[in-house]
């Protein structure tokens, strides 16, 4: 039940907001924050009720929907899903509570902005909680609808073009996914969309071309969402034109659907096929790591630079997943380590990049400018902003003691045991990331301050309050990750060791 | 003669005749009452066809008339679209003081379409196609003082005349081959028929039906009719003939011997139709024309199920589910357009969301259902199509359809974006309470169908042709 509560509360909140005409933006924001927080609370309760030594999927709810097609409302979590979903809910609370960076919009339609954010929260959590392939697809698609309206209506720059490009590009991925899902569905007899059955029965094991095509379509759909180079081109534009909180959600939650989907669908359901192509996928991930970092280094636009670091970080996650899928029987421990690392990377990247994009929103609200060359010397004038940005940037570049390090260490440790050469090349990516974040901090906060920034205000209470919560999460995971690792390892042990 | 088997059709016929007489002898200000008569006739016909459901499947009138699940389900859909059309019409037609017989034409057209879906005899099919065509031509050109309507009517008529003639030629050749028009005996006799003549007959009949389906190569009338005909008529003509023709085509191709390459040909037509419709819709700046092209592309999807109709047991269910989903969404979309007084240029939809939030919501739901965004019923329609085509080995067709779905998303989103993201300009005039109710009814049915997919599929699970 608890998972259904986590899904239903934001959805009902969205309906209430959409139906209310006279609410002030402030009241809508508090209401939405409350609904999002309740959903987060439900997931935390689920976390406490999760038994790491129990079965793979827990808190399962099942309700008949379309039994003649084998479709049902099935939700449930393993440790991986629960960790990612809880992080997402936290990020949604943060994004909703954070002030919207709309510089010229009239205030009255902000009620709908919060309604769309809550709707998006319900759909995003649905993706992570679904145990039914078709339900997964339904939620996967509806997140696109939510994000489309958020970017198109409250974005800046060329929001409608970006929103359209975002929707079309990622919908292409969805359709590839749909064809693959039908392929998986038809391979079961009797046909069913139940993920548990698919994971248990591995229906496509060793069936040659058909399995290869289904796997290809699955990976294509998920790689667009992740995004993996060379399918990443929708990402920078969508990010730059989206409002800050929506960007945070896009990077922190929507991208995770790609990598989470890789773990949940091809990794768990088609272990044979994934093992066959693991090296190829690991190499593509490596390209994403290095390419994402290099292109990010070349960006002069603040938001674009952070957007490209997402490509780099999602590359680590995919590398971890690919390593975990490789079929070397004597490396179980390393592969488990890599899968745990990949999941921690999802959580860490969500919190860190979420915080960074919220900070971008604050910059845009104050100046309407993303060009790094137009900034400088803000350290003295905006110490809070500087502090939070420095911390998030250091976490992103993998500083020990912060969340990013925990994740990347495990991924590379696992990779080193399975594909040592890839690990060696991959570390170069971390080096470039360090360079690009240090350069970013230098340009924003140090050096001489341009004249137009004389009255640049520091973060206000709402802003730093939200950032403090996210930062706290980053530090806690960095220093005492045990609570998170216990949860994830319970599932990665089953998934990796279960072959 | 089992006249009771024809009760719904007879009611439509009698209703139409009464309306013609009523329109001839009543004053101008009472012409709209004919709409009420038409609704009564449609409701009665629906009621009687519901009673037929339990007796199906069977053949009646010496095998000429099929009373089976697909025919009755199609009948319901067509009668529903007729009811929506009729309730949209009185206020739309207010400026035309003598329009009573308009409703009679709608009933005649529906009767023809129902005959197409129920025909189990090639001559019966011809009669149905011709009746629905001749009743539709004047409906399209009903605004006789308006040049675009006349142009649309003319195009519709010319293409219709050509393809109807081809259909008749095809049926005649078929008759020459088997010496009978009855489908059951046709199927038996075709096993050792001359393949060349059979190819000609098949090609002509498929061409003739492609006109009613608005499928390639006889699709050219659809965008013009969508733009020029009275908006309620478009709601009818973009939906009902397709349903009738799709069922008729499915019934017909099942007669053909296996060595005829008809699945490949229909697959090709399907692929070309959906691609052409979508590509043409991309650049339209006129919403009605855009929906006209979209309706062409949707015919292409529907044909996917016809391709595998003999190869997969659930293809018929997929076909009807898709047609139902398409019909509901398209009716809702054209109800919105009618309610907005036929507002057609895309630029006129700017900021509609602020002026008319509910109308915009209905339009968006309808368009998203046409794309196939879950959990709307359009998704299930497309899903079933994809399922049967992939399972029957036509994976490439499913891929083509998926790509086309993606392309179609672009132009549907263009409309949605204009209503949602642009600033409003000027006032928005709406038609009145009748069109409002018809619009709400269509969207409520759409949403109920989305939630009640299980029930609908259960109803259609055991559908089969009576043969």
| Residue scoring higher pLDDT (A187 or A105) | A187
What pLDDT shows up at residue B235? Answer: 93
- Computed over every residue of chain A, the mean pLDDT equals 89
For residue A289, give every residue at least 6 positions away whose Cβ sits within 8 Å of its Cβ, in sequence order, or none. A312, A315, A316, A319, A426, A429
Whether pLDDT at A75 is above 60:
yes
- Computed over every residue of chain B, the mean pLDDT equals 90
* pLDDT tens readout for residues A288-325: 999 999 999 999 999 999 999 999 999 999 999 999 98
pTM above 0.80, yes or no: yes
Q: Which is nearest to B292 in space by CA: B245, B249, B233?
A: B233
Q: Is there a contact between A312 and A289 (Cβ–Cβ < 8 Å)?
A: yes
For residue A451, give every residue at least 6 positions away whose Cβ sits within 8 Å of its Cβ, in sequence order, or none. none
Of A485-489, B166-170, B421-425, the poorest mean pLDDT is in B421-425
Model confidence band, residue A499 (pLDDT cutoffs 50, 70, 90): very low
Determine whether the interchain pair B406/A168 forms a contact, defined as Cβ–Cβ distance below 8 Å.
Answer: yes
Whether pLDDT at B1 is above 70:
no
For residue A386, give how far its alpha carbon lies from the nearest alpha carbon of chain B (Å). 35
Query: Of the candidates A68, A171, A182, which has its C-beta nearest B386's C-beta?
Result: A182
How large is the average pLDDT for residues A251-261? 93
Q: Which is nearest to B244 in space by CA: B76, B74, B130?
A: B74
Model confidence band, residue B46 (pLDDT cutoffs 50, 70, 90): very high
If DSSP codes are grouped into helix, strand and coil, which group holds residue B182?
strand
Q: Identify the residue among A17, A19, A66 best suited for mutation to test binding to B, counting B beta carbons within 10 A and taking the highest.
A: A66
Give one DSSP letter per residue of B197-220, joined into a string: HHHHHHHHHHHHHHHHHT-TTS-T
Determine whether the interchain pair B409/A167 forms a contact, defined as Cβ–Cβ distance below 8 Å.
Answer: yes
For residue A29, give how far its alpha carbon lies from the nearest alpha carbon of chain B (Å). 21
How large is the average pLDDT for residues B104-114? 94
How large is the average pLDDT for residues B84-107? 88
How large is the average pLDDT for residues A141-159? 89
Chain A contact present for B458, CB below 8 A: yes
Give one DSSP letter per residue of A72-128, joined into a string: EEEEEE-HHHHHHHHHHHHHHHHHHHSPP--SS--GGGHHHHHHHHHHHHHHHHHHH
For residue A185, give how far its alpha carbon lies from the nearest alpha carbon of chain B (Å). 9
Give the number of other Cβ atoms within 10 Å of residue B191's Cβ. 9
For residue B283, give how far its alpha carbon lies from the nearest alpha carbon of chain A (Å). 15
Taking any CB pair shorter than 8 Å as contact, residues of chain A touching chain B are: 64-69, 134, 137-138, 141-142, 145, 148-149, 152-153, 159-160, 163-164, 167-168, 171-172, 175-176, 178-179, 182-183, 185-186, 213
Which chain B residue lies closest to A21 (C-alpha atoms)?
B357
Tokens representing A168?
């079309």
For residue A282, give every residue at least 6 positions away whose Cβ sits within 8 Å of its Cβ, in sequence order, or none. A318, A319, A322, A323, A326, A415, A419, A422
Q: Identify the residue among B376, B386, B418, B449 best suited for mutation to test binding to A, counting A beta carbons within 10 A and taking the highest.
A: B386
Whether pLDDT at B378 is above 50:
yes
What pLDDT shows up at residue B426? Answer: 77
- A194 bridge partner residues: A132
* pLDDT tens readout for residues B252-268: 998 888 777 888 889 99
For B:318-377, CB contacts with A below 8 A are 368, 373-375
Residues in chain B: 467
Q: Identify the residue among B304, B317, B409 best suited for mutation to test binding to A, counting A beta carbons within 10 A and taking the highest.
A: B409
Determine whether the interchain pair A68/B458 forms a contact, defined as Cβ–Cβ distance below 8 Å.
Answer: yes
Tokens representing B105?
């034409």
Determine whether the interchain pair B454/A65 forms a contact, defined as Cβ–Cβ distance below 8 Å.
Answer: yes
Chain A contact present for B454, CB below 8 A: yes
Q: How far, in Å, CA of A298 to CA of A308, rounded?
A: 10
- A73 bridge partner residues: A63
Chain A contact present for B389, CB below 8 A: no
What pLDDT shows up at residue A27? Answer: 85
Of A202-206, A347-351, A359-363, B399-403, the poorest mean pLDDT is in A202-206
What is the ipTM metric for this complex?
A: 0.81
């Amino acid at each position: 039940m608890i998972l259904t509560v986590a899904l239903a509360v934001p959805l009902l909140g969205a309906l209430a907001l959409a139906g209310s005409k006279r609410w002030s933006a402030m009241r809508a924001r508090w209401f939405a924050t409350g609904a999002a927080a309740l959903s987060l609370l439900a997931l935390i309760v689920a976390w406490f009720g999760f038994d790491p030594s129990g079965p793979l999927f827990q808190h399962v709810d099942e309700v008949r929907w379309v039994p003649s097609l084998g479709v049902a409302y099935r939700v449930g979590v393993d440790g991986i899903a629960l960790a990612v979903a809880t992080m997402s809910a936290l990020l949604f609370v943060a994004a909703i509570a954070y002030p919207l960076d709309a510089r010229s919009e009239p205030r009255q339609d902000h009620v709908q902005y919060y309604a769309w954010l809550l709707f998006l929260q319900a759909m995003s959590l649905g993706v992570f909680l679904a145990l039914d392939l078709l339900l997964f697809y339904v939620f996967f698609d509806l997140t696109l609808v939510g994000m489309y309206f958020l970017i198109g209506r409250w974005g800046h720059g060329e929001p409608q073009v970006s929103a359209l490009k975002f929707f079309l590009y990622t919908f292409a991925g969805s359709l590839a996914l749909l064809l693959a899902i039908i392929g998986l569905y038809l391979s079961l007899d009797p046909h069913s969309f139940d993920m548990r059955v698919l994971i248990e029965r591995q229906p496509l094991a060793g069936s040659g071309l058909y399995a290869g095509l289904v796997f290809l379509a699955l990976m294509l759909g998920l790689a667009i969402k992740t995004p993996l180079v060379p399918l990443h081109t929708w990402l920078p534009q969508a990010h730059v034109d989206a409002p800050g909180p929506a960007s945070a959600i896009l990077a922190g939650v929507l991208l995770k659907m790609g990598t989470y989907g890789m773990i949940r669908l091809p990794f768990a359901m088609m272990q044979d096929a994934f093992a066959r192509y693991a090296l190829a996928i690991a190499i593509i991930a490596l390209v994403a790591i290095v390419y994402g970092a290099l292109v990010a280094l070349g960006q002069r636009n603040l938001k674009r630079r952070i957007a490209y670091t997402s490509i780099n970080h999602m590359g680590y996650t995919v590398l971890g997943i690919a390593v975990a899928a490789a079929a070397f029987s004597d490396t179980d421990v390393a592969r488990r380590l890599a899968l745990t690392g990949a999941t921690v990377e999802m959580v860490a990247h969500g919190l860190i990049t979420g915080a960074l994009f919220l900070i971008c929103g604050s910059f845009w609200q104050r100046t309407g400018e993303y060009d790094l060359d137009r900034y400088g010397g803000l350290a003295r004038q905006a110490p809070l902003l500087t502090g939070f940005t420095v911390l998030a940037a250091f976490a992103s570049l993998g500083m020990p003691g912060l969340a990013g390090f925990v994740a990347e260490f495990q991924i590379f440790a696992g990779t080193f045991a399975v594909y040592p050469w890839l690990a060696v090349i991959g570390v170069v990516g971390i080096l470039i990331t360090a360079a690009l974040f240090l350069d970013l901090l230098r340009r924003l906060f140090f050096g001489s301050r341009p004249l137009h920034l004389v009255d640049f205000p520091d973060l206000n209470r709402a802003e730093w309050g939200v950032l403090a919560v996210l930062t706290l999460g980053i530090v806690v995971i960095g220093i005492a990750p045990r609570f998170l690792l216990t949860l994830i390892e319970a599932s990665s042990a089953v998934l990796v060791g279960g072959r | 003669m089992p006249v009771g088997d024809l009760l719904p059709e007879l009611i439509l016929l009698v209703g139409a005749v009464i309306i013609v007489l009523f329109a001839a002898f009543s004053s101008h200000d009472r012409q709209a009452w004919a709409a009420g008569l038409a609704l009564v006739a449609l409701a009665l016909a629906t009621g009687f066809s519901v009673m037929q459901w339990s007796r199906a499947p069977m053949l009646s009138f010496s095998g000429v008339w099929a009373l089976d699940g697909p025919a009755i389900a199609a009948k319901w859909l067509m009668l529903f679209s007729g009811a929506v059309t009729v309730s949209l019409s009185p206020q739309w037609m207010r400026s035309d003081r003598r329009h009573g017989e308009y409703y009679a034409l709608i009933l005649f057209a529906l009767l023809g379409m129902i005959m197409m879906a129920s025909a189990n005899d090639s001559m019966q099919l011809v009669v149905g196609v011709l009746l629905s065509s001749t009743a539709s031509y004047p409906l399209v050109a009903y605004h006789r003082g308006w040049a675009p309507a006349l142009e649309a009517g003319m195009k519709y008529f010319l293409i219709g005349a050509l393809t109807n003639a081809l259909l008749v030629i095809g049926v005649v050749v078929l008759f020459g081959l088997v010496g009978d028009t009855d489908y059951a005996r046709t199927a038996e006799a075709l096993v050792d028929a001359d393949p060349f003549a059979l190819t000609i007959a098949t090609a002509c009949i498929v061409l003739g039906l492609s006109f009613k389906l608005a499928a390639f190569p006889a699709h050219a009338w659809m965008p013009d009719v969508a733009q020029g005909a009275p908006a309620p008529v478009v709601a009818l003509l973009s939906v009902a003939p397709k349903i009738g023709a799709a069922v008729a085509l499915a019934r017909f191709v099942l007669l053909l011997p296996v060595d005829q390459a008809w699945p490949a040909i229909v697959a090709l037509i399907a692929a070309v139709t959906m691609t052409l419709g979508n590509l043409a819709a991309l650049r339209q700046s006129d919403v009605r024309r855009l929906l006209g092209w979209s309706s062409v592309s949707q015919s292409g999807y529907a044909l996917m199920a016809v391709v595998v109709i003999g190869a997969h047991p659930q293809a018929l269910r997929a076909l009807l589910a898709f047609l139902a989903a398409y019909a509901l969404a398209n009716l809702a979309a054209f109800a919105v357009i009618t309610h907005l007084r036929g507002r057609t240029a895309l630029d006129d939809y700017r900021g509609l969301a602020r002026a008319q939030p509910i109308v915009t919501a209905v339009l968006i739901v309808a368009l998203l259902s046409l794309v196939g965004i879950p959990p709307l019923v359009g998704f299930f329609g497309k899903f079933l199509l994809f399922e049967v085509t992939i399972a029957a080995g036509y994976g490439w067709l499913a891929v083509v359809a998926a790509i086309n779905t993606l392309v179609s998303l672009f132009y549907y989103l263009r409309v949605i974006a204009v209503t949602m993201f642009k600033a409003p300009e000027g006032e928005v005039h709406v038609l009145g309470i009748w069109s409002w109710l018809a619009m709400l009814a269509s969207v409520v049915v759409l949403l109920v169908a989305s939630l009640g997919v299980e029930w609908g599929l259960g109803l259609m699970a055991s559908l089969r042709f009576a043969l």
